[in-house]
Amino acid sequence: MMRKYWKLGAIAMLSLAIVTGCNSNSDSSKSSDTKTTDSSSSGSEKEATTQKITYLGKEYTVPSKVDNIVTASLEAMEDAAALGVKPTGVVSIAGNEIPEYLADDLKGATVVGTKFEPSAEAMLKLKPDVILGTDKWDAKNLAKYNKVAPTFPYTFISEKWRENLRLFGELTNKQDEAEKIISDYEAKAAELKEKAAKDLKGQKVLVIRIRGNMAAYGPSLYLNPILYDDLGLEVPKEIADAKTQIELSYETLAKINPDVIFLQFDKAENAKTPKALDEVLNNSIFKSVNAAKNDKVFVNSISPSAQGGTAWSKTRFLDVVAEKLLK
């Protein structure tokens, strides 16, 4: 009888050991799987949260998905309009309004200050993924905005318009749209260059911007690359060496004696000299140059607020030149 109870007890203990062992193995396996999942999940999550983007030779770390962009320069705002992107924040030329020429394209964006010095505090409230600013900012301002979000010093140099547009396309997953804008522009410019070589041979075409006084730009700035690089027109020697905006005197204008003048006058830039445009148009020396005598002075044929060296500006000014001079 005792042997029978002993056997039953041994069986019960063995069964308990098996059950305990199974549970122990199961818990151990479950614990191991969880750690592996957490580790791999954490690793993949980390990889997915950021990306590296190279712009003008410098590498930047930005979120892997960029949904919220503050365009803190007019150049970036024009590229946003060209690509059909709606930025969260924008800047004004003066006051608190989106610049009129971009108002429809960028409707709904919050103005975070003027183009001269946007408010870092206003940007911070928008929680941007990236900020597209300007290389006109000094190191102190750039550092200030970098505390809000990764900030690109978007260049204002006209010759770098492709790099700007490609950066914007990469950030917003619109690379194909950016490349199409570039290729369409280049194709049209090449076609018009052949026509310009015949129709405008020997003619001098000059862009003048009124900022209190008359101003002109070097060949690589503002709208000039469209005329002198893309269309192959002659660069007036008086501006050939200019590296920045220069004041254009009436005497120098007479020496150039342009056959065509594109005259830009922005009221916001001439708040203290509202009659500057009329004064230029009515000046006797201005009226004596070929462009004025032959009715080839075109005032604000493209928005005077346009920055010149962007896809938006270049495509529109190329259309203007074709319409006005290459019919």
Residues 169, 159: Cα–Cα separation, whole Å: 18
State pLDDT tens for residues 236-246.
Answer: 999 999 999 99
What residue has token string 């001269």?
Answer: 116
Helix axes 175-199, 161-171, angle to 10 degrees: 160
Mean pLDDT along residues 207-218: 97
Helix, strand or coil, per DSSP, at residue 193: helix
HSE toward the beta carbon, residue 259, CA cutoff 13 A: 13
Instruction: Check residue 47 and give its pLDDT.
Output: 55
Residues 115, 126: Cα–Cα separation, whole Å: 17
End-to-end CA distance of the chain: 120
Domain at 55-173: CATH architecture: 3-Layer(aba) Sandwich (3.40)
**105 token code pair:** 């394209």
Q: Which of 326, 303, 323 is nearest to 313 (CA)?
A: 303
The one-letter amino acid code at 207 reads: V
Residues 81, 74: Cα–Cα separation, whole Å: 10
Residues 238, 289: Cα–Cα separation, whole Å: 15
Q: Is the pLDDT of residue 73 over 80?
A: yes
Instruction: Check residue 327 and give its pLDDT.
Output: 81
The one-letter amino acid code at 140 reads: K
Q: Is the pLDDT of residue 22 over 60?
A: no
Q: Is the pLDDT of residue 320 over 60?
A: yes
For 23-125, where are the E strands, in sequence order? 50-55, 58-63, 69-71, 89-92, 110-114
Instruction: Check residue 128 and give its pLDDT.
Output: 98
**301 token code pair:** 């044929």
Q: Is the pLDDT of residue 11 over 90?
A: no
Structural domain boundaries of the chain? Answer: 55-173, 200-325
Q: Is the pLDDT of residue 199 over 70?
A: yes
Span 200-325: which CATH code?
3.40.50.1980
Q: Is the pLDDT of residue 193 over 60?
A: yes
Q: Is the pLDDT of residue 40 over 60?
A: no
Q: Which of 294, 295, 296 is nearest to 321 (CA)?
A: 296
Residues 216, 248: Cα–Cα separation, whole Å: 6
State pLDDT tens for residues 90-141.
Answer: 999 988 999 999 999 999 999 999 999 899 999 999 999 999 999 999 999 9
Same fold, 55-173 and 200-325: yes
Residues 215, 219: Cα–Cα separation, whole Å: 13
Q: Is the pLDDT of residue 10 over 60?
A: no
